[in-house]
């Protein structure tokens, strides 16, 4: 926790969460994420389970202190040969619905919700086995968690990545959908007030573009999504400009968001 972190939950103070996706998805991602955290370039990660590097990554992270969430995977085939057959079968059925046409991502499919709940429970169980506790938050591989069907299957009250806060978005159906998702998540889940991908800045980083992105977190809670296995993301996260900019912010993880009132179903168990 950095200086001033105790004020992160105040309405007058910001919180910056720099989250690296795909931990455990492959060796390059896992190793670079740990490098970035050790250097101070990220503050959080989200881990994939039942993937090629899931077990090794979980073993490596234990001594690092890196906060770890669950990177829910309903779109990419499990790679771990030890994945139980029933778990693999359920996820394959979900993939057939969620990896296809865009309409399947934006439409609600009530009959699919029980299957998605089982898939979430499968991956939470594996996460607990690997990491010895609950994830700090849940986000989705390929943003699958933003599908209304998946959102309705998530455990109520758990911290979840919110929808994109693209300031340059033009009025239209896409903007309406993003805003609706953000409102739904804010009502049902715990999340940051805004969310940005680092991609536009990493493509052509300057002191001005870095400051413009991170300044959003000076007075509100913001998550910045990164993928350190991408060379340009990794180069930015390890750069002196980025590291210095983070030192001027209150940084943390989803654990540092204001807690909701205690509930009897606080454990991350799908309803």
Q: In what order do the strands lie in the sheet with 44-47?
A: 138-140, 68-72, 44-47, 15-23, 221-226, 194-197
Site of tokens 């002191």: 207
DSSP state of 84: -
Backbone phi, psi, residue 37, to 5°: -65, -45
Q: Tokens standing for 212? A: 């413009």
Annotated catalytic residues are: 21
Picking from 93, 125, 99, 126, the residue whose alpha carbon sits closest to that of residue 112 is 93
Residue 166 CA to residue 213 CA, distance in Å, equals 11
CA 9 from centroid of its chain's CA atoms:
19
The answer to whether the CB of 18 falls within 8 A of the CB of 224 is yes
Residue 130 CA to residue 127 CA, distance in Å, equals 5
Q: State the DSSP string of 35-68.
A: HHHHHTS-SEEEE-SSSTTHHHHHHHHTTTT--E
């Amino acid at each position: 926790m950095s200086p001033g972190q105790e004020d992160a939950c105040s309405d007058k103070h910001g919180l910056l969460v720099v989250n690296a996706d795909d931990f455990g998805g492959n060796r390059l991602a896992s190793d670079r994420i740990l490098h970035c955290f050790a250097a101070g370039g990220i503050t959080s990660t989200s881990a994939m389970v039942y993937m090629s590097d899931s077990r090794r990554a979980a073993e490596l992270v234990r001594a690092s202190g890196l906060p770890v969430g669950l990177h829910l995977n309903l779109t990419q085939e499990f790679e771990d040969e030890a994945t139980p057959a029933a778990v693999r079968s359920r996820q394959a059925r979900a993939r057939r619905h969620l990896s296809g046409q865009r309409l399947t991502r934006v439409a609600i499919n009530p009959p699919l919700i029980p299957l998605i709940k089982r898939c979430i429970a499968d991956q939470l169980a594996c996460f607990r086995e690997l990491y010895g506790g609950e994830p700090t938050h849940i986000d989705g591989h390929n943003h699958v968690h933003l599908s209304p069907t998946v959102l309705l299957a998530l455990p109520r009250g758990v911290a979840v990545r919110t929808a994109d806060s693209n300031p340059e978005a033009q009025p239209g159906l896409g903007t309406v959908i993003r805003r609706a998702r953000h409102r739904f998540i804010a009502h049902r889940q715990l999340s940051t007030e805004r969310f940005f991908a680092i991609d536009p800045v990493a493509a052509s980083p300057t002191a001005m573009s870095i400051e413009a992105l991170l300044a959003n977190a000076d007075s509100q809670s913001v998550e910045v999504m990164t993928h350190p296995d991408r060379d340009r993301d990794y180069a930015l996260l390890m750069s002196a400009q980025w590291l210095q900019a983070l030192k001027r912010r209150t940084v943390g993880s989803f654990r540092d968001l204001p807690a909701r009132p205690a509930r009897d179903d606080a454990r991350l168990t799908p309803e």
